[in-house]
Every structure is written in structure tokens, then in C-alpha cells.
Homo-oligomer: A and B are copies of this chain.
Amino acid sequence: MKKLITFTTLCVACLLENTAFSQQALWNNSDIISPQINDDNTVTFRIQAPKASKVEIQGDFILPHKAETPDGTFNVARTAELKEGKDGIWEYTSDKLPSELYSYSFIVNGQKMNDPNNVYQVRDVASISSIFLIDNGVADNYMVQDVPHGNLSKIWYASPTLGMRQRRMTVYTPAGYDTGNKKYPVLYLLHGAGGDENSWSELGRAAQILDNLIAQGKAKPMIVVMPNGNASQQAAPGIAPNSMVKPVLMLPKMMEGSIEKAFPDVMKYVEKHYRTLKNKGGRAICGLSMGGFQSLYISARYPDKFDYVGLFSAAINKQSKGENDDVYDNLDTKLATQFKNAPKLYWIGIGKDDFLYKDNASFRKKLDEKEYPYTYMETEGGHIWRNWRTYLTTFTQKLFK
């Protein structure tokens, strides 16, 4: 190791002589570990903030609790306070946490920031959060396990229907795809408003979920196609020309029919460039929120194409009027046609607290009245990724069987 030590010593020397910016930021000098997942599934968070007078943590694992206010009264807090220790290092240890993927931020003297010692982050629209996973439960499927991994590709395809020479999609091919000649079924997996072709593989852990379920024999090996569902976008923010701007939730041409009409462009590319099963039994479509809405209307528009349809917290009835009203008009007639030769699985999942719960209940009532068969899953919580990962994990186990 002598030479390695020399190399390291030289790097340190060069960093001391210069700022971190004048040489490569070779490493983060801090040896603080945060988050530290303890054996009992409590989690310890640390941040060095020697000049701070108050450090808090905010996260989806901090339950609301009563907190004293400066005037002596109590209110409901959704943060926890860290305590200052040696060298200005503040620390907080959580309760024992059930298995899940969690996200959090620190609040240092009122200023929200990510954990500087945790490089694992996710972006949701314009917000970036620090994340961690607790194992021994649902999150085992979201973690990278020692199982065969599928490949994940960022692919550019042409969408003449949208008038775009290039649009981007994420494609997961299961382990074994590149060594065999087998044909695979395809799941089209659609994101919500504010999302893009990266959302399901990043926030949704789609590659990990598929790797793990396939390795356990719980899901069939399948290709998963995650297109960009924003008709005005070529690709995720920063990936198309002039798009390195602050991401926004609502974009032009959302839920006005363009994506549904252009969907054959996606399928055409996929079925030409991948070894796919080109029949109804070999295709599934599902999505969250806006993507659930799109799955509803795409599968109704092309009733002979998809034998598996999944609506995850679907944004039912949120279409806007415009040039493509034919996509949304006469839904009852379209559903009648679709269910005449019913899909093998029409799956609906929603959280009890979801702001779209009522619209989904009305839609289910419509299906019930017509006696159209569907499978329903109701979970705790609202319009959150925690539910969508659960729905993907559940739905994919029912496909292509």
C-alpha cells in the first residue's frame, strides 16, 4: 500500500495548498456518518453546525407531535430537534422505523437544507430530498439485492405525432435479455404531473422492484418502458435543449389528449427495437396520477392492445378541453368496447387520504354498475410515492401469467 499512501498524501497536499475548487474535490473531508441505520432500525442523523442555535429534522418518518411554542402554548410539530454535542456536531436518533424508503431534510436555524453527508437524494419536481432505506420489510424490494440485474437505458425515439424528431424514454430490460433470444412482454409505466421519464426509475425504484420480484419468481421477466408523458417536453429538465431551468408541476399540453394520441409512436419504437411479444396478452400499461389517467384513456382508445391496465391514484376526470376531445369523449362507449373483450386485469389502487379518492370512487361505481371486472386496492395515506411503489410491487406480480 506504500504507493497508494503516497498518492493520497499528494492529494491531501494539493488540497491544502489550493481550495477544494482549484483541484478536483477529491473527497469530503468530513468523517461524519449520517444517516446511520442502527441494528434496531432506529436511525441516527448528524450534521456539523457549530454556529447554529437550533437544528431540526423534517421527514416522512417524523410523526406529528405536540411542541411547546415560545409563548408557552403547544402546537403540532412535524419536526424533531437535534442536540448539539462535541465539535458542533448535532445529533438525533429516530424511533425504530418500519421498513420503507424515507426522505428528509435538516432545518438549521430555520434554513432548510439537505444532509451534506448523504449523497443519496431524489428529485421530485423542483425539490431534492435526502433519502435512506430500512430493510426487513417492504423496502427489501426497493433495495439493490445480490440478484441478477436488468439494464436501464435512456433511449431517444421519434414521435412524428407530436412533431418531435427526438423524445426520451427509459427502458428496463430484465436480466438475461441480452444473452438470449427470447421475446418478452412489455409494461408501459407512466409518471405523474411534474414527473418525467426518470421518475419511476429514481423515485419509484422500478429497476430494483423488477430485479427483486423477477429473481424471487414473483414477477415474470418483462421489459419496462418509462416514456416521458409531457407532450410539450422532449425529455426531463436539463436533458433537452434550453431546459436547464427550474422544473414546474404544470406544463403546456397536459391531459389534453396529445400523449394518448402519440402513444403508438412509443410502442412502434419499442416493438421494432426490442424482442417483444406483440399481442394484447404481452402488453400492460399503468401509471400514477396523470399517468393513471393516461393509462385509462390509452387502454380505452386502443382496446385490443393491453390485457393489463393499472390506475395508481389516477387523476380521473382531470382532462382539459381542446383539439383532442375525441380522446376523452364517449368514455362509456369506449369502456363498453374495451370490456366486451375485457382485459385480463383492470387494477385500481388509491390511498384513503388521496385528494383523488372521490373521483376514483365514482369511476369504480361506474365500473360496478356495468359489472366490468376490476381489482381494487385501498391503502393508507395519500398521493405519495410510498403508495406508488407499493402499487407497482403489487401490480407487476399479477402480469403476464
Chain A residues near B (Cβ < 8 Å)? 1-4, 6-8, 10-11, 13-14, 18-28, 30, 33, 49-52, 58-60, 78, 103, 108-114, 116-121, 123-129, 132-133, 143-146, 148-156, 165-166, 168, 175, 178, 192-194, 237-241, 243-244, 246-250, 254-255, 273, 289, 315, 317-321, 353-356, 381-385
A249 to chain B: which residues have CB within 8 Å? 8, 11, 26-27
Q: Provide 28 A-B residue pairs closer than 8 Å at the C-beta atoms, listed in order of the A residue.
A: A3-B321, A4-B318, A4-B320, A7-B315, A10-B356, A18-B353, A18-B382, A21-B103, A22-B60, A22-B381, A22-B384, A23-B353, A23-B384, A24-B124, A27-B125, A27-B126, A28-B127, A52-B111, A119-B237, A119-B238, A144-B239, A144-B244, A145-B241, A146-B241, A148-B165, A149-B166, A151-B154, A153-B153
A108 to chain B: which residues have CB within 8 Å? 108-109, 111, 113
Which B-chain residue is minimally distant from A384 (CB atoms)? B24
Inter-subunit contact A385/B318 (CB<8 Å)? no
Inter-subunit contact A2/B382 (CB<8 Å)? no
Inter-subunit contact A51/B153 (CB<8 Å)? no
Rounded to whole Å, the gap between the CB of A170 and the closest CB of chain B is 10
Inter-subunit contact B384/A52 (CB<8 Å)? no
Measured between alpha carbons, how far is A109 from B151 in the docked complex, in Å?
44
Inter-subunit contact B320/A27 (CB<8 Å)? no
Inter-subunit contact B148/A151 (CB<8 Å)? no
A13-B355 contact, Cβ under 8 Å, with A2-B321, A21-B58, A156-B149: yes
Rounded to whole Å, the gap between the CB of A353 and the closest CB of chain B is 7
Measured between alpha carbons, how far is A14 from B145 in the docked complex, in Å?
36
A133 to chain B: which residues have CB within 8 Å? 244
Which B-chain residue is minimally distant from A385 (CB atoms)? B24
Which B-chain residue is minimally distant from A256 (CB atoms)? B4
Inter-subunit contact B320/A382 (CB<8 Å)? no
A353 to chain B: which residues have CB within 8 Å? 18, 22-23
Most buried by B among A7, A28, A120, A315: A7
Measured between alpha carbons, how far is A108 from B113 in the docked complex, in Å?
10
Inter-subunit contact B244/A132 (CB<8 Å)? yes
Inter-subunit contact A52/B109 (CB<8 Å)? yes
A23-B382, A30-B126, A152-B153 given; 4 more Cβ-contact pairs under 8 Å: A4-B250, A10-B355, A113-B116, A148-B165
Measured between alpha carbons, how far is A1 from B318 in the docked complex, in Å?
10
A22 to chain B: which residues have CB within 8 Å? 60, 353, 381-382, 384
Rounded to whole Å, the gap between the CB of A108 and the closest CB of chain B is 5
A114-B113 contact, Cβ under 8 Å, with A249-B11, A255-B3: yes
